[in-house]
Amino acid sequence: MAEVVIVENPAAAGALVAAEIGRLIARRADAVLGLATGSTPLPVYSALRSQLEGVDVSHVRGFALDEYVGIDPSHPESYRSVITREVVEPLGLTPSLVHVPDGSLDGIEQAGAEYDAKIRAAGGVDLQLLGIGTDGHIGFNEPGSSFASRTRVKTLTEQTREDNARFFDSPDDVPMHCITQGLGTILEARHLVLLAYGEGKAQAIADAVEGPLSAILPGSAIQLHPHATVVVDEAAASKLTLADYYRYTFANKPAWQGI
Ligand code: F6R
């Protein structure tokens, strides 16, 4: 099963995961990072600023999980803009090495297969950051997504559109469609790191980590991965049956093993 690490707050989660990414880049200067958007990965990106200070990151590569379909890439809430603003610019990554699925309507039929081919050509993702939706989605694989799915166009649930309305002027402005790495694509990354904070994510986390494997809860796909780490604060961990065991296990883990 996934390793669950319960931390005090989002900043501690950010520091823990940024340290792991730092170790990865030290081992491999052209590491391939799987990048998530939304609020959850922000503490990681902000901790990475100091973690990577003085490190040559010019060869680091990146692949975002998803993008809205039909949104102008220059829109401040397109995931292309978010990745540029939150990751590429502050960390000083090489823009041409950081990819986001192409959500433009022109060519959307092929965009998924092309994105998967690009990930494959890069040798796959070393470490994939993930958030989780309140409905259990990872990437934008909404409930019902196949565990074997590849990058493709999906329809966002009303719940996800409401959750993401905070980023837009009006709820109606949240696009209805997205292009997202599939669960099968995500599962090919060598290390999955799923983060979540707050009570609102507690049920989705309990279902993903300890519930049955089911397409109705796409996050449960992480149980199929041999190296998945779930980093949660106390509130997001509050519905985990084995929380005490996870605390005990992590407290007694040799530090050199990282996560
Ligand atoms: C974002 C993504 C989504 C989010 C999820 C949680 O690239 O793929 O799965 O991680 O919707 O969003 P936040 O972090 O805003 O709660």
pLDDT tens by residue, 15-63 = 999 999 999 999 999 999 999 999 999 999 999 999 999 999 999 999 9
State residue 68's pLDDT score: 98
Question: Ligand 1 centroid to 77 CA: how many Å?
Answer: 13
**Structural domain of residue 159, as residue ranges?**
3-254
Task: Judge if the beta carbon of residue 18 lies within 6 A of ligand 1.
Answer: no
State residue 93's pLDDT score: 98
Looking at the CA of residue 164, tell me the nearest atom of ligand 1. Answer: 15
Residue 259 falls inside a structural domain: no
Task: Judge if the beta carbon of residue 145 lies within 6 A of ligand 1.
Answer: no
Question: Ligand 1 centroid to 252 CA: how many Å?
Answer: 31
Strands 61-64 and 32-35: parallel
Residue 222 falls inside a structural domain: yes
What amino acid occupies position 111?
A: A
In the DSSP assignment, the letter for residue 101 is -
* C-alpha to C-alpha distances, 122 to 115, 175, 178, nearest whole angstrom: 11, 29, 23
Q: Which of 77, 79, 125, 132 to mutate to test the pocket of ligand 1 (most atoms within 8 A of CB)?
A: 132
State residue 257's pLDDT score: 85
Where in the sequence numbering do the catalytic residues fall? 66, 135, 137, 142
Average pLDDT over residues 214-235: 98
Whether 1 shows a pLDDT value over 80: the answer reads no
What amino acid occupies position 80?
A: R
Task: Judge if the beta carbon of residue 37 lies within 6 A of ligand 1.
Answer: yes
Average pLDDT over residues 145-165: 96
pLDDT tens, residue by residue, 130-147: 999 999 999 999 999 999
What amino acid occupies position 35?
A: L
Strands 66-68 and 177-180: antiparallel
State residue 255's pLDDT score: 84
Whether 220 shows a pLDDT value over 90: the answer reads yes
Q: Which of 137, 161, 231 to mutate to test the pocket of ligand 1 (most atoms within 8 A of CB)?
A: 137
| Cβ atoms within 10 Å, residue 106 | 7
Task: Judge if the beta carbon of residue 92 lies within 6 A of ligand 1.
Answer: no
Looking at the CA of residue 139, tell me the nearest atom of ligand 1. Answer: 8
Residue 224 falls inside a structural domain: yes
Q: What is the pTM of this model?
A: 0.97
Task: Judge if the beta carbon of residue 133 lies within 6 A of ligand 1.
Answer: yes
Look at the chain and report how many structural domains it folds into.
1
**Coil, helix or strand at residue 131:** coil
Whether 233 shows a pLDDT value over 90: the answer reads yes
Residue 53 falls inside a structural domain: yes
Question: Ligand 1 centroid to 254 CA: how many Å?
Answer: 31
**How would residue 256 be classed by pLDDT, with cut points 50, 70 and 90?**
confident
Residue 250 and residue 210: Cα distance in Å, rounded?
Answer: 17
Whether 149 shows a pLDDT value over 80: the answer reads yes
**How would residue 73 be classed by pLDDT, with cut points 50, 70 and 90?**
very high
Residue 110 falls inside a structural domain: yes
Question: Ligand 1 centroid to 56 CA: how many Å?
Answer: 28
Residue 122 falls inside a structural domain: yes
* CATH code at position 53: 3.40.50.1360
State residue 258's pLDDT score: 85
Residue 175 falls inside a structural domain: yes
Residue 33 falls inside a structural domain: yes
For the chain, give the mean pLDDT.
Answer: 97
Question: Ligand 1 centroid to 65 CA: how many Å?
Answer: 9
State residue 89's pLDDT score: 98
